[in-house]
Structure 1
């Protein structure tokens, strides 16, 4: 049984490396964002700019106004990655210490204070389902979702063990216009943009 288990782990590791190579080869060639989950590669067709990027920028700036100087609300590269779990994700905004960001390659997800996602129109299940499953598995203690489709969102905290693996135990919903607390910091959601019917997928 040990040999079979080792072979299975080696096979999973090989498959993950293949998927990671595919993702890296498409980064600057195809539009959108590519990530790796337990189910395989996820492709989120995002257009630059628009409510998605504006929301990420607003949330980042508002958080940095109230956070201590040693932290930042980063909305650029790199990815967060756990090779042992076979997961590579790219939060729209991550709260992280400057020292923990100052590394070569992907970020250790267990150094991320909070992950924030802006729901895209092209693949909302990626944020509301896939990342809601993956982020507690990666040990990210706080996960906040802002949804420009509905003008609502939620903050998930308190990772606990379940038969299906680690999950968030606490969910706090909010409506745009209210204040929302992400980890230890409270920001306004007033004035965040919404998707319009004529918007392209973003």
Structure 2
């Protein structure tokens, strides 16, 4: 097992010790602990479910669109994240502990109304560091999203080279599979439903 830094171990142990005792979701990045204070609302969860179901209809045997635990974790990078939907081989889900992020075919995030920067900034930075080849974002605030691919080296570390934007109602390709985005729910209009970060 790769050696984790002392600081990462402290943050990781703290997040794991919370074990649903505080509201919201906690993740660990190089910049520290990210806390999405609000529990996911219905449109968030329903979007994740619809995307998972639409992918599942297309995926070959042995590949699944998975929602739920565990996290993905890279000790060396000091990052522990929790994608809303993970496209992964069933064989790579076996065993104990967090998933190896480099086994993911794709990660899908539904933008949080309370912390959109986590999906639009933090995870765009972290997912290529973790070696996740495809990152798709669905934003119920705006009825739009983007798919990021083609990891390449930069002075700031690995980054996605290609971004393809889409609007709800268009088909979107995630890795090798194209799904419709019609009928995906939107957040109710309020002061947080401004454009994507």
| Shared fold per TM-score greater than 0.5 | yes
CA distance in 1, matches of 2:40, 2:184: 17
Q: Contact 1:155/1:172 (CA < 8 Å) preserved in 2?
A: yes
Higher helix share: 1
- Stretch moving more, 40-49 or 106-115: 40-49
Matched position secondary structure for 1:66: coil
Of 57, 64, 67, 1:72 maps to 64
In the other structure, the counterpart of 2:43 is: 51
What's the TM-score, normalizing by structure 1?
A: 0.91
Of 8, 26, 44, 1:16 maps to 8
Asked if 1:148 is matched to 2:148, the reply is: no
CA distance in 2, matches of 1:164, 1:153: 24
CA distance in 2, matches of 1:27, 1:165: 32
Asked if 1:26 is matched to 2:14, the reply is: no
CA distance in 2, matches of 1:58, 1:83: 32
Residue 198 of structure 1 deviates from its aligned partner by: 6.1
Question: Between Structure 1 and Structure 2, how many residues are aligned?
Answer: 191
Unaligned runs of 5+ in 2: none
Unaligned runs of 5+ in 1: 1-9
Q: Contact 1:27/1:34 (CA < 8 Å) preserved in 2?
A: no
CA distance in 2, matches of 1:148, 1:199: 14
Change (3 A) 1:32 1:200: farther
CA distance in 2, matches of 1:43, 1:103: 27
Asked if 1:162 is matched to 2:154, the reply is: yes
> Which structure has the larger Rg over C-alpha atoms?
1
What's the TM-score, normalizing by structure 2?
A: 0.93
Q: Contact 1:112/1:140 (CA < 8 Å) preserved in 2?
A: yes
In the other structure, the counterpart of 1:7 is: none
Deviations 1:68-114 (A, max 9, x none): 02111101100000001100000000000001011200000000000
